[in-house]
């Protein structure tokens, strides 16, 4: 079943690249007591993700803060090292927290996993964005296959 607005996020563990190496991030603790704009990309360094999705959130980071968002996070079914390198190559380190979902546990738990085997990418997460307030989804924007319309930073801001 796919997560819906009003649902509490399930407990999972993300991995974050840090100066001291990979660090486990408990989802319940990460989202507790604050407002987080979370977006998911099918993969770091892929065309739409690199040219449009990540840049939209980097460019609009201040606008999110002005609307009361405490943190912007990106997740993908990639390892923490890949997301760390992608963040550095896009100068996103100060604006976006990268949360690796390397085993697809999070996207499976929320019903937004996808099969990208035909592209040689295996199991991935669908492209989406959500606003999470104290662990509860208050906005959910899931893209159709191959689309990039409703999960952008601009769309999220316009509908907040």
74 a catalytic residue: no
d(C-alpha 32, C-alpha 144), whole Å: 29
pLDDT tens digits, the chain, 160 residues: what are they?
799 999 999 999 999 999 899 999 999 999 999 999 999 998 888 767 777 889 999 999 999 999 999 999 999 999 999 999 999 999 998 899 999 999 999 999 999 887 655 665 646 688 899 999 999 999 999 998 888 999 999 999 999 9
Structural domain boundaries, residue 27: 13-158
Domain-embedded: residue 1: no
110 exposure class (CB count in 10 Å sphere: 0-12, 13-18, 19+): buried
Domain-embedded: residue 7: no
Domain-embedded: residue 21: yes
> Are the C-beta atoms of residues 112 and 142 closer than 8 Å to each other?
yes
Domain count within the chain: 1
Can you give the CATH number for the domain in which 22 is found? 3.40.30.10
Which among 15, 17, 36, 49 is annotated as catalytic?
Answer: 49
Domain-embedded: residue 6: no
């Amino acid at each position: 079943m796919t997560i819906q607005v009003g649902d509490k996020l399930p407990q999972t563990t993300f991995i974050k690249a840090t100066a001291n190496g990979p660090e486990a991030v408990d989802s319940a603790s990460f989202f507790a007591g604050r407002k987080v704009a979370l977006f998911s990309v099918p993969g770091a360094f892929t065309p739409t993700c690199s040219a449009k999705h990540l840049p939209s959130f980097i460019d609009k980071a201040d606008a999110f803060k002005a609307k009361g968002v405490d943190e912007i996070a990106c997740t993908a079914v990639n390892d923490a090292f890949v997301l760390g390198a992608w963040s550095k190559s896009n100068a996103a380190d100060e604006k976006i927290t990268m949360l690796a979902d390397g085993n697809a546990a999070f996207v499976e738990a929320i019903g937004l996993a996808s099969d990208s085997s035909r592209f040689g990418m295996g199991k991935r997460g669908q492209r989406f964005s959500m606003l999470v307030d104290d662990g509860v989804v208050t906005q959910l924007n899931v893209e159709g296959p191959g689309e990039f319309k409703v999960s952008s930073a601009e769309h999220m801001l316009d509908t907040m």
